Amino acid sequence: MHTPSPTGTALDRILDARRAEVEHRKKVLPLTALKYGVKAATPLRDFSAALAKPGLNVIAELKPASPSRGVIRDPFDPAELAQTLESAGAAALSVLTESEFFRGSLKNLRDARKASALPALRKDFIFDPWQVWEARANDSDSFLLIVAALNDNQLSELLALGRELGMEPLIEVHTREELERVVSVDAKIIGVNNRDLKTLEVHVQTSFDLIEHIPESCIAVSESGLRSHHDLQKLRAAGFDAFLIGEQLMLAADPGAALAQILNQPEQG
User: Known catalytic residue: 193?
Assistant: yes
The interaxial angle of helices 255-264 and 229-238, nearest 10 deg, is 50
d(CA 211, CA 183): 12
Per-domain boundaries in the chain: 10-264
Superfamily of domain 10-264: Aldolase class I (3.20.20.70)
User: Known catalytic residue: 68?
Assistant: no
Scanning 29-137, the segments in alpha helix (DSSP H) are: 31-39, 47-51, 78-88, 106-115, 129-137
pLDDT values of the chain reduced to their tens digit, one per residue, 269 residues: 555 544 467 888 999 999 999 999 999 999 999 999 999 999 999 999 999 999 999 999 999 998 888 899 999 999 999 999 999 999 999 999 998 899 999 999 999 999 999 999 999 999 999 999 999 999 999 999 999 999 999 999 999 999 999 999 999 999 999 999 999 999 999 999 998 877 778 899 999 999 999 999 999 999 999 999 999 999 999 999 999 999 999 999 999 999 999 999 654 43
Distances (CA, A) of 97 to 59, 229, 257: 16, 28, 25
User: Known catalytic residue: 57?
Assistant: no
User: Known catalytic residue: 123?
Assistant: yes
Residue 114 neighbours by CB under 8 Å, 6+ apart: 79, 139
193, 194, 207, 222: the catalytic one is 193
